[in-house]
Amino acid sequence: MALSTEAAFQAYEAVRHRLPLVVPTGVEYRRANSLADIADDFDVFLLDAFGVLNIGDAAIPGTRERIEALKSDGKRVLVVSNAAGFPHKALTEKYVRLGYDFDPEDVITSRATLLAGLNGRSGLHWGLMATRSTGLRDLEGLTLTYLEEAPEDYDTVEGFLLVGSAAWTEERQMLLEDALRKRPRPVLVGNPDIVAPRETGFSVEPGHFAHRLADCTGIAPEFYGKPFADIFDLAFKRLGDVDRSRVVMVGDSLHTDILGARNVGIASALIANYGFFAGQDAEKAVSAAGIVPDFILERP
């Protein structure tokens, strides 16, 4: 199922009550062409992946050179991504194929954020929303059962981990919701994204299904990743002692990247011509959502 930009935007707006609160600042955004135009303002650049580094399996032209120029100028550059569906090594290998050169420890994902947030619950038996083909690297220490078509699996597990939805179906969603209505259990969401930009539209991500089950069961999912603070906590742990006024989050989504930055008190830059708002009016969306970045950039 692929969604239009307007439908994707409205899906995020419909769940604003579960997202961090926007506190108006009265700050007006500035327009610029690319990261090169704001490089002097910041020492640390946190980059989203989809819509900033790549669209699907294709790198955004010119972004590799832009990142290398930032690094040459002494800037720290980290990837901060809600890519929970892929093992860390597979993700870093993908970036290498796309021509990027990131230290593996400088790739901060919601998958790692989820694992860091288990809070003593690693011994539970978890039902896993994930695509089998991506494998279980990083998750080897957990007791897991893939959630597929067997109703008894939904009934017997002690909690649910939602990390990847490429293979998820309506039948599986109904089984999950029914199981939770019968016996409430923890639901941990490793990717809060409702959608992700692809070459042909927006794919539906785990956040979409998490909000649906919350609406129909009343169970509040635990979200790990942007726009929530937990993933930024991991990024700042990696960065160490930095001046947060000199850190900027760069992304294509108002409701994850920009809202997440606002939530933790750092600057943000919205990419207007790639990813979520490609071919659309990003400024109109900023006004409608009331989620205001510090910058709107034409491209990374």
Four-residue CA torsion sign, 212, 226, 95, 282: positive
pLDDT surpassing 80 at residue 25: no
Highest mean pLDDT among 4-18, 31-45, 188-202: 31-45
Confidence of residue 1 (pLDDT cuts 50, 70, 90): low
Confidence of residue 45 (pLDDT cuts 50, 70, 90): very high
pLDDT surpassing 90 at residue 135: no
Averaged pLDDT for residues 28-56: 95
pLDDT surpassing 80 at residue 3: no
> Which two three-digit tokens encode residue 234?
């991991």
- The secondary structure of 186-220 as a DSSP string is -EEES---SEEEETTEEEE-HHHHHHHHHHHH---
Give per-residue pLDDT as tens, 225-283. Answer: 999 999 999 999 999 999 999 999 999 999 999 999 999 999 999 999 999 999 999 99
**What CATH topology corresponds to 5-112+226-297?**
Rossmann fold (3.40.50)
pLDDT for res 2? 61
Residues forming a β-bridge with 162: 129, 189
pLDDT surpassing 70 at residue 198: yes
Considering the entire predicted model, what is its pTM? 0.95
Averaged pLDDT for residues 79-88: 94
Mean pLDDT (the chain, rounded): 95
Task: Select from 179, 185, 183, 207 the least CA-distant residue to 195.
Answer: 207
Q: Does domain 120-223 have CATH number 3.40.50.1000?
A: yes
Q: Where are the domains of the chain?
A: 5-112+226-297, 120-223
Task: Select from 137, 116, 128, 191 the least CA-distant residue to 158.
Answer: 128
pLDDT for res 203? 85
Higher-pLDDT residue of 113 and 25 is 113
> Which two three-digit tokens encode residue 262?
């606002």
Same fold across 5-112+226-297 and 120-223: yes
Euclidean distance between CA atoms 291 and 124, whole angstroms: 38
In the 8-state DSSP scheme, what is residue 47?
Answer: E
**Packed helices 170-182 and 206-217: angle between N→C axes, nearest 10 degrees:** 40
Four-residue CA torsion sign, 179, 115, 223, 79: negative
Please, are residues 204 and 3 in contact by the beta-carbon 8 Å criterion? yes
pLDDT surpassing 70 at residue 161: yes
Averaged pLDDT for residues 14-21: 96
pLDDT for res 152? 97
